[in-house]
Amino acid sequence: MPAPDRPPGSPLSVGVLITLARGPEAGGHVKCWERFAEAAAVAEPPRMDLTLYTIGAKDSIRSLAPHVRFQALRPTLGTDRIPLLEQGAGHTDLAPYHRRLARLLPRHDVLHATDTFTFGAMARHVARKRNLGLTASVHTDLPTFTKVYSREIMSRVTGAGWLGRRVLDDLDLPGRLGRNAHRKVTRFLAACDRVLVSKDADRVMAEAVRPPDRVSWLRRGIDTTRFHPAHRDRAALHRDLGVPTNRPLLLFVGRADDSKRLMTLAHAARRLIDAGHALHVLVVGEGNRRADVRALLGPDHATTPGALPQGALPRLYASADLFVFPSESEVSPNVVLEARACGLPVVLSARDGGARFVREDGRDGVLVSDPDPAAWAAVLAPLMADPAACRAMGARARAVVEETMPTWGDVLREDLLPVWRAAAREHGRA
């Protein structure tokens, strides 16, 4: 670990706070920072000393390079200890203070929060106390997730009877908690030196509490070699997952729950099947809606293997026929970029942050404005009926990615590092 007092010329020391666990089931928030860490590890010369703090079952350090490491810390009040709080977004820490983290953070020049839970709160506390730079990036739509998951948790307690209707609908407690989450996020951003955002709505939110010159863009990178159409292998999908080879394959990758609106896809597929369309839906990801998808579509039309290793994803994307992602809560979904890089046509909600990756609706992707499954079925039917048009759309999507999207190293150098350096200078830590 770098010492608290480094000699002049030492790399900038940055601590990134992620109050989530790493692992196969981790979502895009964690995966995004894994890619940044990989890019930092191969930077020549090293531009920073980077520590990424996550939660883990035990305290541990995994070094990617002498100047880049993941440090896992046991949560003080982990949600995994509270069965009632089980939900699909991964476990976090709800404690107001983390003693070990408080001892580790002062060694850095800049602290970068990626959420408002325990680790993010500790970053704000230590930065203020020790005069460190404090930056933040918005990775999730916390108000929407709070509303969705609080409704899920409360419904398990109240049931579907009069009490559930009173709590969930009449009093709208999930909605109130979502609004409270929005206020919490804005208060946190107001305390930061600089804020990075990835969609217009978050920029508006951040600029309401910070001057515009303190708010900047955080793009997403893509490895166009790792994610490439050449990985197509439909026979391997049949061999490994039992996916049929003789019908259109609709792919979904993400949490299999209501935060991603997975059942919109499932009900649209059911409509198409009932209308005589041959198709198969492949849902990759853990979540409480996997069983509902299987029950609705049947084993002949749906495969739900749960989470799969990251190394398996390029082949899945390249081997499918359509990537269907009805979520409306994404900030900047990695899965959409990955699918497009693999030459897979994407069908997305026009209300989602991933919609900005589509350059021209109808040519390199399709945006659906109506959340009704019937509207999604109406969009999917002609696409499935014209494989050549789908392939052309996927090829155009790949070309747009090659032309416009940066690498993870580009984003690290151009988006993150300047913000961290500016925050360090402002606190005399350059």
Cα–Cα distance list, 301 to 297, 308, 313, 318, 412 (Å): 6, 19, 20, 20, 41
Would you say domain 229-404 falls under CATH 3.40.50.2000?
A: yes
* Residues 78-114: tens digit of each pLDDT: 888 877 667 666 788 899 999 999 999 999 999 999 9
User: Domain locations in the chain?
Assistant: 12-221+407-426, 229-404
What is the identity of the amino acid at 142? L
* Residues 299-347: tens digit of each pLDDT: 999 999 998 988 899 999 999 999 999 998 888 899 999 999 999 999 9
Q: What is the pTM of this model?
A: 0.90
Give the residue among 221, 249, 228, 231 at the shortest CA–CA distance from 334.
221
- C-alpha–C-alpha distance, residues 202 and 245, integer Å: 41
- C-alpha–C-alpha distance, residues 85 and 178, integer Å: 16
Q: What DSSP letter does each residue of 302-320 carry, written as one string?
A: EEEEE---GGGHHHHHHH-
Q: Count CB neighbours of 68 within 10 A.
A: 22
173-190 vs 200-207: helix axis angle to the nearest 10? 60
Supply the CATH classification number for the domain 12-221+407-426. Answer: 3.40.50.2000
Give the residue among 238, 255, 273 at the shortest CA–CA distance from 380.
273
Sheet with 48-55, strands from edge to edge, namely 60-65, 68-73, 48-55, 12-21, 110-113, 133-137, 194-197, 215-217
* Residues 226-264: tens digit of each pLDDT: 999 999 999 999 999 999 999 999 999 998 988 899 999
Domain pair 12-221+407-426 / 229-404, same fold: yes
Give the residue among 223, 198, 280 at the shortest CA–CA distance from 34.
223
